[in-house]
Amino acid sequence: MQKVIVDSDWGGDVMQLASVLVSRPSEYKVLGATVTFGNASLRQNLQNAGAMLRFLGVDGVVPRYAGAVAPSEVEEQPEGDEAHGRTGLGDAVMELSEVAPAEMRAVDFLIDAIGREPAGSVVLVATGPQTNVAEAIRRAPEVMGRLKEIRIMGGCVRELSGYRVNERLERLGTESILRKGNITERAEFNFQQAPGDARVVLESGIRVALFPMDCTHQLTFTKEREGRLAEVFGGDVERLKVLGDLLSAPRLIDERKWGIAPVMHDVHTTVSMVAPELYAGRRGQVKVSNEGETDFLADEAGPHWVAERVVDADAVFEELMASLGRLLLSRG
């Protein structure tokens, strides 16, 4: 059985990736959910994590741990863009957890849990700012080096066609531009929020599988996929509403900045574990600037594997539908 820890800012994308794991209890054991700042504050994200674990039916089974409130050596959380709304869940309203977060802090849990397991037996899925992970590496590099790998959603390797917008998300002109970021025109959100921490992780020597924004943009929540969601969950109006709101959360920002349907970012980190044939990539070295911009140098002997292509986006979406169906349709 593969053991996994999920470290993230726990928005709707994280519910998707977690469902792929917890719907396969004979294959994967989620040891814990570590929480960081990101699309919302740490406090909000810790509440969101509990709500999503409850929604998936594993509240009290998967413990959650509070982590970083801001990047390393920074007192306040950087300004975001509220891509998933003020709560990080869009319009979704979810029942809160009745289980309190664990008293142990996220970094302490990471070091303790990874240190107790055999070397090479734990996968860390990290899809928010990398501060918790970087701090654990700084404090206990030998322990963190026991990880099998870190699977990250972050950065952007290739430029994408998009639009320039102002602070009110109004387009500044009708002509497209080349963007390499969603929070700024040159930086993806997770790496831009804590670029120094991202560098620590990428330079740690730990095996990394990276799913950058130019790959994740290949799966969006289109009208056709909205219809498929309704087809699967049409008999459960309440859960259908929650799922639809979570998957639609970044609709406004993705339409204004990119002219596309809501992007489904984080789910690739775990669908690629159960169906690796749905992804193509290459090895190399990823570097992150002080502003969060990502550069990639292809190298067959490089320390990082970078996903470049979703081979079949519909098949990825069906893996998610199957995972959610197994978890939700069997429960009252």
**Per-residue pLDDT reduced to its tens digit, 196-254:** 999 999 999 999 999 999 999 999 999 999 999 999 999 899 999 999 999 999 999 99
Q: Confidence class of residue 85 from pLDDT cuts 50, 70 and 90?
A: low
Q: How confident is the model at residue 77 (pLDDT cuts 50, 70, 90)?
A: confident
101-106 long-range CB contacts below 8 Å, 24 or more apart?
101/35, 101/46, 101/50, 101/63, 101/64, 101/65, 101/66, 102/32, 102/63, 102/64, 102/65, 104/65, 105/65, 105/66, 105/67, 106/7, 106/34, 106/35, 106/36, 106/65, 106/66, 106/67, 106/68, 106/132
Tell me how far apart the 2 most distant CA atoms of the chain are, in Å: 55
The structural domain count of the chain equals: 1
pLDDT at 76: 85
Place of tokens 């979406």: 317
Cα 84 to chain centroid distance, Å, stands at 13
pLDDT given for residue 223 in this prediction: 98
What local confidence, expressed as pLDDT, does residue 332 receive? 62
> Above 90 in pLDDT, residue 131?
yes
pLDDT per position as a tens digit, 34-55: 999 998 999 999 999 999 999 9
What is the average per-residue pLDDT within 261-275?
98
Instruction: For residues 44 and 3, give the distance between their C-alpha atoms in angstroms, rounded to a whole number.
Output: 26
Distance, in Å, from the CA atom of 130 to the CA atom of 9, rounded to the nearest integer, reads: 10
* pLDDT single digits (tens) 246-261: 999 999 999 999 999 9
pLDDT of residue 103: 96
pLDDT for residue 75 is more than 90: no
Q: Which domain holds residue 300?
A: 2-328
Using pLDDT thresholds of 50, 70 and 90, give the confidence band for residue 56: very high
Question: Is 70 exceeded by the pLDDT of residue 81?
Answer: no
User: What is the phi/psi pair of residue 62, to 5°?
Assistant: -100, 110
Q: State pLDDT tens for residues 58-73.
A: 999 999 999 999 999 8
Tens of pLDDT, residue by residue over 90-116, are: 788 899 999 999 999 999 999 999 999
Give the CATH number, domain containing residue 228: 3.90.245.10
| Average per-residue pLDDT for the chain | 95
User: Is the per-residue pLDDT at 83 higher than 70?
Assistant: no
Contact 195, 288 (CB under 8 A): yes
